[in-house]
Amino acid sequence: MDDQLWALCFLDEGVALSVISRKETRCQWLSGEEQARHYVLHDYLQHVAELGELDDAQTAVARERFELLMEQYPDPETLVEYLNDLTAGLTRIVWFGPLYALAEDYGDFALALRAHYWDEYGEGEEDPATPVPEDDWSYLVEAMDDFLLQGDY
């Protein structure tokens, strides 16, 4: 499995959510940090602009704010906090970072994913916080889809 993979996982929180009464979570796997940051500035921002019904001028201002935050806060976890403040009520990023961090970190989302992973792929003896070995990262990626559908995060 490519140890350079990054993911952006987000859920929509807007008006449509109250109509359909369920979370709409999306997870985009990207080939590295550079591509992940590009995706946030272009595709994710465009999604936010559509949800917020922003015109071109408002979208340009939002892009400038996103770019400034990305420069000021290169740490993914801190960046996510600030981006989520900007997009409150529209969408919320639940994970932005590398695959190895999902496999090893102790943040809430990574821990919940690993607990699901070990429940699905483990032998019942693993501590849910146990890091996933690199040889098994492809199974962790597979487990992500089911985990997001369950909505336990």
Measured distance between the N- and C-terminal CA atoms of the chain, rounded to whole angstroms? 24
pTM of the full structure: 0.87
- pLDDT tier for residue 2 given thresholds of 50, 70 and 90: low
Could you tell me how far CA 139 lies from the centroid of its own chain? 18
Question: Which strand (E) or helix (H) includes residue 62?
Answer: helix 56-72
Domain positions in the chain: 6-150
More confident residue, 33 or 12: 33
110's tokens:
């990574």
pLDDT of residue 18: 47
User: Which DSSP state fits 124?
Assistant: S
Which of 50, 60, 52, 5 lies closest to 27, judged by CA? 5
pLDDT value at 102 more than 60: yes
